[in-house]
Structure 1
Amino acid sequence: MSRRALGFALALLLALPLGAPARAFADVRGTDEILGASVEARGLPAVACPNVTATFALVMDDEGTVLFSRGALERSHIASITKIMTAIVALDSGVPLDSTVTVSQEAASVGESSASLWAGDTLTLEAALAGLMIPSGNDAAIAIAETLGEGMKTDDSQTANEAFVAAMNAKAAELGMTETLFSNPHGLDIGAYDNEMYSCARDVALMSAYAMGNETFRSIVSKESAQITVTRADGKPQVIDLQSTDRLLGTYEGACGIKTGYTEAAGNSFAGACDRGDGLLYAIVLGSPSEDARFQDTETLFNWVYDNRVSYALAHSPETVASAADGGAEVPLIARVSHSAWPDRTVAATFTDPSAAVEVFAPEGNVSQEIVAEELTGSVAAGDVVGVANFYQGNELVASQDLIACEDSPAPGFLEGIGIWWNRLWGNDAPAPTEVVNETPLVYSKSSSREDHQSVAAIAAGVSDDAPADGAPSGAGAGAADAANE
């Protein structure tokens, strides 16, 4: 290196602020999977894939289809995301929500994130669940486990907490969470709680989806803030204000939970849910490099799904025709169907519903069409079904539309029929072939820019390129720093 270059590098190094953290960059990896196949195997460009910073990530729809994943089965600490299972076991226990939970000295002194509970406090199970999930109360986690675990003990040598954790692991096994082990009800993994514990993005998604099926759970985790009342040891009631650690609530369209998590071993993690009226989505990010990054990663995953859900118009014809079946209205010309009784005649056809569309997920591939024409040998009247159009994405049939005649087409008269028959006997006057006019524009393109990629989706949807895209990103607002374990 020359002296000048060395001097420049040194000056640049000195210009950097001391102690500045290394910046983390979102990336797309060839091993990331979309619908079960790697990005590399699909030959997808980076602009078509979600760029996230998380070490492990996954987004799943409400039918259990994993749309995107990164290291979905690799084991990781999940910190306070553990509390989702704590809530599940409590809600599945059958213990009434108005039952009393008592806060022990151990629960009150656990430390880290808290619901501000004191030793000797009593509160309802429902209030304790709110203290568990909204501010991520470690104190509420132990109080719930100790209270409910008494009724779960299998022998006298087992503590209530141990019995409750055993129930957590049993429920995990029941849900198919094969890469999960819980060792406590709160997720702390330091000091006295430094025991073997782990989960993975796939298992967290399964757990989250199960939990969100419970209306009480869903109601609690969707709250930005809440108040609970506890009875202190002196018998006096005390109202406690709770503030959610979930910064997407109220700032990202459709966000409805679920749980943050952070410890040094787990990194910044989040299990998020979103519902815009067309079914829940679950985004799991484990090991994001910062508090902001975990929410940005979650938004990126949700936006990627919403941006790639395309309403694909079935009719994309460059020609129109006046349809006698619709009072002469101009409709898209889909095909000219062979009228085989004639040597030179076709019947103009359109769809039963020319405005029909089907929702497709763009990364699954482009749409193809198959026109299956009827054999027309007699008279055809406007409105008659003359065939069917089938639409496929990959090998899956995604839509069908009947083809209907736009015009009358009588059969040949007796003498005309004899003449056509005679000519065909000698190899002449073959029927005109069916001509497909409708086109299937690309749903997905291996384009060089994200703008081009979104433009292709707009064309497939039958809208102009400058129309606003569905699922435009919504920025998460600033929020207070979370506790060390939340």
Structure 2
Amino acid sequence: MRASRSVATASRTSLRAPFQAALCALALSAALLVGGTHAHADVRKADLVGGSTVEALGLSVGQCPDVAADYALLVDSEGRVLFERAGSAPAQIASITKVMTAIVALEQGDPSRPVEVSPNAAAVGESSAGLRAGDRMSFDAALTALLVPSGNDAATAIAEAVGAQILEREPQLAADPQTAFVAKMNQKARELGCEDTLYENPHGLDDDAFRGNLHSTARDQAKVAAHAMSLDAVRRIVGAGDTSITVERDGGSVSIELRTTDALMSYDDRVIGIKTGETLLAGPSFMGAAVHEGVELYAIVLHSSSAQQRFDDTRALFDWGYEHYRAYALVNAERTASGTYRSGAQAPLVARLTLPDRAHGEVDLTVSDPTASLRVFNLEGNISQRAVLKDGLTSVRAGDVVGTLEFRQRNKVVAALDLIACDDVPEPGIWERLGTWFSGLLSGGADKERPTVEIWNRTPIIKSNVGRSA
């Protein structure tokens, strides 16, 4: 069996070259006019930082990410939006579409069944993985050809193969496999909470025969990115960079080298994917993911000014985002708790619990992990705290968990620690109960007193170094 070797390339339409040449000429002219000095690309008053406009926060140009794209979003792995520019406005997303193609393939397809390239798939054109009609490959190889070189041929082959499997289960869904596959793409978008997304094909081409109403938003694609990176296969493939696959061709085995379109990974170690996109309508675009010091961020950049600028925009968003994450110690207690819990070891006094109806009902409270901390986005505001006690507390023993100490930022719980009793407080004796009963008679049957807690832990102000107060 003879093995041959070929290299996948991304072909372009005849209009693309002169269009890009014109853009380069304009960019060069602009650079000469400004004399080579750096200027922030574009900071807009309506850009949102932590949910508030740049104008409302009083942020200067230097305190905002340097982004040229018309649509941009930076979000963390918990879905918290850190920066937003026209995040809910509909836009073309080009080959970023293929991320949803991979998701649906993994969730709807049988990974043990091979993928065969039809003449229709091989003839799609534009960005290609170098596949030919009749090629057969493993499911994983097809996904790699889809995501690494952004193969439109692979996207169509996957949609046809998995779409046929979908129709085996749901024959009433559509008239043909690719239509069935695209229906599942839109269904998955709705399941992920996408609010203004419409897929019309598995590759993202949007002109000539593929012109239509396909579109999405930066906010919607951030949801897609987060879900995609929760899938091991997607995470592995987009993070691997250049690679190769083996396909069966003409009775032999062919190794195809695949060059990643994600150039940002080659010079930014934080970046772990995900997907480029570019058409004349969509402009240069990118869906990016990065990890730094345990914090995972996703950036969506749509309709940037050049192929390189989309990566510069993404890197600027990541730089800015990580700059404003801070390690925050949750326990900041000035006193040590007293009691038998952790005898011989110092336990921080974070709160004091008072149980009513007894002479000695006070007990110090501490936490199990005095070194607990989290990373907070400092532009979201300061941390507040409140104690939440368990219901029905009438007595406690040293070591009992009596409730939680919740930490909030922008009214959202960002962390919680168990509150632990440091000593015993027994049930009230007979005389204390009688006293409570008489007190109730004298007060006309007033409601029984409830346990109370006084918080001693401090929540230091988070320094943001931004805005008018900086």
Instruction: Normalising by structure 1, report the TM-score.
Output: 0.66
Secondary structure at the counterpart of residue 284 of structure 2: strand
| Partners of 2:117 and 2:136 within 8 A in 1 | yes
Moved more, 259-268 or 89-98: 89-98
Q: Aligned to 1:284, which of 287, 300, 318?
A: 300
Shift in CA distance, 281/438, structure 1 to aligned 2, threshold 3 Å:
closer
1:148 partnered with 2:194 = no
- Structure 1 gaps of 5+ residues are 1-16, 322-331, 335-348, 372-387, 403-436, 454-486
Partner residue, 1:207: 224
Distance 2:184 2:216 in 1: 16
Partner residue, 1:384: none
The residue type equivalent to 1:150 in the other structure is: A
| Partners of 2:76 and 2:297 within 8 A in 1 | yes
Shift in CA distance, 368/214, structure 1 to aligned 2, threshold 3 Å:
closer
In the TM superposition, residue 137 of structure 1 has moved relative to its aligned partner by: 0.4
Moved more, 151-160 or 107-116: 151-160
Partner residue, 2:440: none
Partner residue, 2:209: 192
Shift in CA distance, 393/45, structure 1 to aligned 2, threshold 3 Å:
farther
Distance 1:34 1:156 in 2: 42
1:32 partnered with 2:51 = no
For these two proteins, the number of residue pairs brought into alignment is: 388
1:216 partnered with 2:230 = no
Partner residue, 1:246: 262
The Cα offsets for residues 335-361 of structure 1, whole Å up to 9 and x where unpaired, read as: xxxxxxxxxxxxxx9x99998463322
The Cα offsets for residues 73-108 of structure 1, whole Å up to 9 and x where unpaired, read as: 11000000000111111111131244232332x221
- Structure 2 gaps of 5+ residues are 1-24, 32-38, 337-347, 351-363, 388-403, 420-455
Distance 2:372 2:165 in 1: 55
Partner residue, 1:128: 142
Partner residue, 2:125: 111
Moved more, 206-215 or 34-43: 34-43
| Partners of 2:90 and 2:217 within 8 A in 1 | yes
Partner residue, 2:84: 69
Partner residue, 2:309: 293
Distance 1:223 1:157 in 2: 35
Distance 1:168 1:353 in 2: 46
The residue type equivalent to 1:36 in the other structure is: G
Partner residue, 1:258: 274
| Partners of 1:28 and 1:49 within 8 A in 2 | yes
Moved more, 132-141 or 38-47: 38-47
In the TM superposition, residue 127 of structure 1 has moved relative to its aligned partner by: 0.8
Shift in CA distance, 231/55, structure 1 to aligned 2, threshold 3 Å:
same
Secondary structure at the counterpart of residue 267 of structure 1: coil
The Cα offsets for residues 397-445 of structure 1, whole Å up to 9 and x where unpaired, read as: 768899xxxxxxxxxxxxxxxxxxxxxxxxxxxxxxxxxx999765234
| Partners of 1:81 and 1:270 within 8 A in 2 | yes
1:78 partnered with 2:93 = yes
Partner residue, 2:102: 87
Shift in CA distance, 445/239, structure 1 to aligned 2, threshold 3 Å:
closer
What does residue range 320-399 of structure 1 map to in structure 2 within 5 Å?
Answer: 356=371, 358-359=373-374, 360-367=376-383, 393=409
C-alpha RMSD over aligned residues: 4.5
Partner residue, 2:180: 163
| Partners of 2:329 and 2:373 within 8 A in 1 | yes
| Partners of 1:45 and 1:446 within 8 A in 2 | no
Distance 2:281 2:255 in 1: 34
| Partners of 2:59 and 2:466 within 8 A in 1 | no
Query: Matched residues, percent identical?
Result: 45
Write out the 4+ residue segments of structure 1 that deviate beyond 4 Å after TM superposition: 21-25, 313-317, 351-357, 367-371, 388-402, 437-442, 445-449
The residue type equivalent to 2:191 in the other structure is: E
In the TM superposition, residue 229 of structure 1 has moved relative to its aligned partner by: 0.7
Secondary structure at the counterpart of residue 241 of structure 1: strand
Distance 1:18 1:266 in 2: 19
1:41 partnered with 2:56 = yes
The Cα offsets for residues 29-87 of structure 1, whole Å up to 9 and x where unpaired, read as: 22222233323333444443323111111112222222221111110000000001111
In the TM superposition, residue 392 of structure 1 has moved relative to its aligned partner by: 6.4
Shift in CA distance, 112/61, structure 1 to aligned 2, threshold 3 Å:
same
Whose Rg is larger? 1
1:175 partnered with 2:175 = no
Distance 2:326 2:98 in 1: 36
Shift in CA distance, 101/47, structure 1 to aligned 2, threshold 3 Å:
same
Q: Aligned to 2:283, which of 263, 267, 271?
A: 267
Shift in CA distance, 166/395, structure 1 to aligned 2, threshold 3 Å:
closer
Distance 1:43 1:226 in 2: 47
Partner residue, 1:60: 75
Distance 1:147 1:396 in 2: 44
| Partners of 1:358 and 1:399 within 8 A in 2 | no
Distance 1:184 1:63 in 2: 29
Secondary structure at the counterpart of residue 298 of structure 1: helix
| Partners of 2:72 and 2:300 within 8 A in 1 | yes
Partner residue, 1:410: none
The residue type equivalent to 2:139 in the other structure is: L
Shift in CA distance, 43/225, structure 1 to aligned 2, threshold 3 Å:
same
Secondary structure at the counterpart of residue 172 of structure 1: helix
| Partners of 2:76 and 2:296 within 8 A in 1 | yes
| Partners of 2:115 and 2:138 within 8 A in 1 | yes
Secondary structure at the counterpart of residue 275 of structure 1: strand
| Partners of 1:313 and 1:358 within 8 A in 2 | yes
Partner residue, 2:12: none
Partner residue, 2:251: 235
Distance 1:395 1:225 in 2: 44
Distance 2:385 2:55 in 1: 27
Partner residue, 2:8: none
Distance 1:262 1:140 in 2: 17
Distance 2:214 2:155 in 1: 16
1:137 partnered with 2:151 = yes
| Partners of 1:44 and 1:446 within 8 A in 2 | no
